[in-house]
Amino acid sequence: MAVLTYREALNLALREEMRRDPRVFVIGEEVGLYEGAYKVTQGLLKEFGAQRVVDTPIAESGFTGVGIGAAMVGLRPVVEMMTFNFALVAVDQIVNTAAKIHYMSGGQYRVPLVIRGPGGPAAQLGAQHSQSMESYFYHVPGLKVVRPTTPMDAKGLLKAAIRDDNPVIFIESETLYNVKGEVPEDPEFLIPLGRAIVRREGTDVTLVAYMGMMYRAMEVAEELAPEGISIELVDPRTLRPMDAETIIGSVRKTHRAVVVEAGAGFAGMGSEIASFITERAFDDLDAPVERVTGANAPMPYARNLERLKTPSKEKIAAAVRRVCGTNGG
């Protein structure tokens, strides 16, 4: 095992897949000469050249379309969004072409495409650069949606996404790029898409979270353990397809559930997860499913208001205590 940052793990995944398969190439704004806005593509231009690390104009719809066309004729593009908020400029390409061309062509075309970049709450980047975009794409048949939490996830899931024959939305986080963790050095290390992970075993309540909210949930689990509250932490990692079986299995063990997401809440990921828990494990629940979400407001720029917008440890802990207090638990 090597200890790498989240950023380095992504870079290693790209480098290994580009070495393994000459059909893989990277395209996006500043991915080459500048080596990526967040340095995820650092060193790739020097190793693989300008035909496989392609700098583009500021034209998300255009270079996403180039990636889709390249995928349709047999290449495996990795399209970088400088921030996933900019994917809104390319949403017609993603939703109406990438997601649908396999179906509309009667299976004649596949689109083995990865669209990756950072998204979600950052650090004072304002309302237009801090949105949690996963729910925009989760609803679209034909797309897979991935949100990796750890450096190991970043490497294993990105490599699996590049090898997948479907378009994959791969959303990272600016706030995690410097997080360090163990990463397998095996170039064939993959984490299959659609497989959740139990990050901490517990007996009293299942807490479902991903990305930055998982790290916050880990702190809550440590803080509440002395109170006698044992929290099981489940990270979906892939949001579509979602490993509902692992989540449901955990809830049937603990009989309580709290779902945490950084997004604004209404019709978000927490709604979907809480819904299928209630539908499939209602008789196992000793308390209603709690959701802890971001405030239903644009992200403020001011740091103190940014903290109020996103779920805090205090709000997560309060939700856990509420469900564990039901029926005298």
State pLDDT tens for residues 15-51.
Answer: 999 999 999 999 999 999 999 999 999 999 999 999 9
User: E strands along 210-267, which residues?
Assistant: 231-235, 238-240, 257-260
| Contact assessment for residue 8 and residue 151, using Cβ atoms and an 8 Å cutoff | yes
Question: Taking 90 as the threshold, does the pLDDT of residue 255 lie above it?
Answer: yes
Region 58-83: mean pLDDT is: 97
pLDDT band at 145 (very low <50, low <70, confident <90, very high): very high
Distance CA 120, CA 310 (A): 10
What pLDDT, on a 0 to 100 scale, did the predictor assign at position 117?
A: 96
What pLDDT, on a 0 to 100 scale, did the predictor assign at position 300?
A: 86
Domains of the chain: 2-183 (3.40.50.970), 197-328 (3.40.50.920)
- For 43-54, the pLDDT digits (tens) are 999 999 999 999
* Share above pLDDT 90 across residues of the chain, in percent, rounded to a whole number: 86
Nearest to 41 by CA among 155, 33, 183: 33
Distance CA 157, CA 261 (A): 20
Residue 168: partners with Cβ closer than 8 Å, 6 or more residues away: 113, 114, 115, 143, 144, 145, 146, 161, 193
Q: Would you tell me how many other CB atoms lie within 10 Å of the CB of residue 28?
A: 28
Prediction pTM value: 0.95
Task: Provide the annotated active-site residues.
Answer: 60, 129
For the chain, the C-alpha Rg in angstroms (whole number) is 20
Beta bridge partners of 170: 116, 146
- Per DSSP, the three-state class of 299 is coil
Distance CA 191, CA 79 (A): 20
Q: Residue 5 corresponds to which tokens in the numbers above?
A: 């940052």
Strand order in the sheet with 168-172: 53-55, 24-28, 76-80, 114-118, 168-172, 144-146, 238-240
Phi/psi for 120 (5° steps) reads 95, -175
Q: Would you tell me how many other CB atoms lie within 10 Å of the CB of residue 1?
A: 10
